[in-house]
A and B are shown apart, each in its own frame.
Chain A
Amino acid sequence: QSVLTQSPSVSGTPGQRVTISCSGSTSNIGSNVVNWFQQFPGTAPKLLIYYNDRRPSGVPDRFSGSKSGTSASLAISGLQSEDEAHYYCASWNDSGWVFGGGTKVTVL
């Protein structure tokens, strides 16, 4: 059981906009930053969004993050086939990072 709650899966067609939600509490998302990670099968996770809404160099601007209260969201605009992957949210919780269970994005 993950501390942060994500829907297990979301799907969309190429070009569509999809949103992944991440729900937490006042102990984590409500009082700390949220980061998002992208993971392809058999590979290590990659930082996609940090400090709620900032993109590291090289991350396409079709990926965007937001936070409100105890929830956060990752949006993928103009969905592409290469975006099919697992996405994880994470936030600091008292004395360590906590993750969501992950969301599988499928491009139809």
Chain B
Amino acid sequence: DVQLLESGGELVQPGGSLRLSCAASGFTFSNYAMNWVRQAPGKGLEWLSGLSDSGDDTKYAASVKGRFTISRDNSKDTLYLHLNSLRPEDTAVYYCVQDEQLVLWGQGTLVSVSS
């Protein structure tokens, strides 16, 4: 089965850091660009970042540029998102999404930022 499985979400204090992981299976991970998209509770979708298949080209939304870093390890079929300087408004479910056209979505991992 083609699958994306996120992990790493937890409760963190404002100003804290976190690393999210997304384990891919069922497809050739290194052939696909990947993305992170989040959804705050009761709100819509927000694209955060994208990364080329090789990892050479990265893109970020203005809201997270300089605070979040996307990376990948093609030898481990895993995508990462490093979150720094977290704010309460970063509280959301974070989804890992395959392909430039946002084809396949993981089930999401919840990040809560609160003191």
A interface residues with partner B (beta carbon < 8 Å)? 2, 33, 35, 37, 43-47, 50-51, 56, 88, 90, 95-102
Q: Which of these, A44, A51, A97, A99, contacts B44 with CB under 8 Å?
A: A99
Say whether B101 faces chain A, with CB atoms less than 8 Å apart.
yes
Q: How far is the CA of A97 from the CA of B107 in the complex (A)?
A: 20
A45-B45, A96-B50 known, 17 other contacts, Cβ within 8 Å: A33-B101, A35-B102, A37-B102, A44-B108, A45-B95, A45-B105, A46-B105, A47-B104, A51-B101, A88-B45, A96-B47, A96-B61, A97-B47, A97-B50, A99-B44, A99-B45, A100-B44
Interface of B is mostly: strand
**Is B59 at the interface (CB under 8 A from chain A)?**
yes
Interface of A is mostly: strand
Q: Which residues of A contact B101 (CB under 8 A)?
A: 33, 35, 47, 50-51
Q: Are A99 and B46 in contact (CB under 8 A)?
A: yes
Taking the nearest CB of chain A, how far is it from the CB of B29, in angstroms? 18
- How far is it, in angstroms, between the C-alpha of A45 and the C-alpha of B44 when the chains are bound? 11
Determine if A2 and B108 form an interchain contact, defined as CB atoms under 8 angstroms apart. Answer: no
Looking at chain B, what size class is its interface with the partner chain? 10 to 19
- Provide the residues of chain B in CB contact with A44, threshold 8 Å: 95, 105-108
Min distance, Cβ B60 to any Cβ of chain A, angstroms = 7
CA distance A107 to B52 in the complex (A): 40
